[in-house]
């Protein structure tokens, strides 16, 4: 992942790596990579959001600025940098570093990029005032700075987070309806965060690409004790071959990849009667007493 015009969030290609490292060494590699990436985000991404926190500016100027920032950030996030590691870097070290890069890509996609593109699109055409843009960008900048500083937020809970997604969908197209079936032991923490982020991406895709007017999000436990979430829209559908071959963010990175990183899986298909069906499944959850 390359971020901004000043360089890339890449491992030092001159670093000498010895024999295959231990499990504790791999954990150290991941922690070091994450810390380094967060420092670059703090130095290069947060200031771009903070420059939009200016209620005295013209809304049109802030929208144009957000558009430029969004284009630069999306291009950076979609740039793969696996080849940055030294040729003799052990495979497990490469994998550990790439895991952290994917984690940071996903977080930036769901935070900074989503806000920037929302502003750049003038709130999906709803009309944003300078004060509103300032509020959105300033809040995103503060949240991202807290994240880079390692501030631990509350553990995500699945149903409240999905209810928030549905509430947001009541004020814009497509309208989002949440259906809750039998739910034995819903995931929390990273798995819940991954599901919610994947749902948001599916809703965004339905809005931006499928011209959907309605989205149904259903969550329930399956017979094996796993949590299954389906997102069904009434849009124009999708091209499976194109979705499978697309590099970077979107379906592969923000839905399939995100679920894979927390031990789950995701699939896309055609919804009955047209539209798109996205299915998210987590590993089996321990039954709560």
Domain boundaries, the chain: 23-148, 158-284
Q: How long is the chain?
A: 289
pLDDT for 243 equals: 57
Q: For residue 281, give the 3-state DSSP assignment.
A: strand
Q: Which residues pair with 284 in a beta bridge?
A: 226
Is the pLDDT higher at 123 or at 66? 66
Is the pLDDT higher at 25 or at 241? 25
Model confidence over 130-157: pLDDT tens digits? Answer: 999 999 999 999 989 988 887 655 567 8
C-alpha distances (whole Å) from 156 to each of 25, 186, 212 are: 29, 11, 28
CA 102-39-77 angle, to 5 degrees, is 35
Q: Please state the pTM of the whole predicted model.
A: 0.69
Model confidence over 235-286: pLDDT tens digits? Answer: 888 766 655 555 445 677 778 888 888 889 999 988 888 899 999 999 876 5
Confidence of residue 61 (pLDDT cuts 50, 70, 90): very high
Decide the pairing of beta strands 265-270 and 276-284: antiparallel
Residue with tokens 């549905």: 166
Answer whether residue 6 shows pLDDT above 50: no
Looking at 3.30.565.10, 3.30.230.10, 3.40.50.150, 3.40.50.1100, the CATH number of the domain 158-284 comes to: 3.30.565.10
222: its two tokens: 């399956």
Direct distance between the N- and C-terminal alpha carbons of the chain, in angstroms, rounded to an integer: 43
């Amino acid at each position: 992942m390359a971020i901004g015009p000043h360089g890339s969030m890449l491992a030092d290609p001159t670093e000498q790596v010895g024999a295959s490292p231990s499990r504790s060494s791999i954990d150290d590699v991941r922690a070091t990579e994450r810390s380094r990436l967060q420092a670059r985000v703090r130095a290069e991404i947060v200031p771009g959001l903070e420059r939009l926190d200016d209620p005295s500016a013209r809304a049109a100027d802030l929208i144009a600025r957000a558009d430029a920032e969004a284009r630069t950030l999306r291009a950076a996030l979609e740039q793969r940098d696996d080849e940055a590691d030294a040729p003799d870097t052990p495979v497990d070290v490469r994998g550990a570093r790439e895991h952290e890069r994917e984690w940071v890509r996903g977080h930036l996609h769901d935070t900074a990029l989503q806000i920037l593109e929302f502003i750049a699109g003038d709130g999906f055409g709803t009309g944003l005032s300078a004060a509103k843009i300032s509020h959105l960008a300033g809040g995103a900048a503060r949240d991202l700075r807290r994240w880079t500083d390692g501030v631990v937020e509350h553990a995500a809970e699945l149903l409240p987070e999905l209810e928030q997604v549905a509430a947001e969908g009541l004020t814009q197209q497509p309208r989002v309806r949440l259906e809750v079936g039998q739910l034995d032991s819903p995931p929390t923490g990273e798995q819940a965060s991954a599901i919610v982020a994947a749902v948001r991406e599916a809703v965004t895709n339905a809005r931006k690409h499928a011209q959907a007017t309605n989205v149904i999000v259903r969550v329930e436990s399956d017979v094996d004790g796993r949590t299954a979430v389906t997102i069904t829209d009434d849009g124009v559908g999708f091209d499976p071959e194109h979705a499978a071959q697309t590099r970077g963010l979107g379906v592969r990175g923000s839905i399939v990849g995100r679920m894979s990183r927390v031990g789950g899986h995701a699939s896309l298909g055609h919804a009955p009667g047209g539209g798109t069906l996205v299915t998210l499944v987590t590993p089996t959850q321990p039954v709560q007493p």
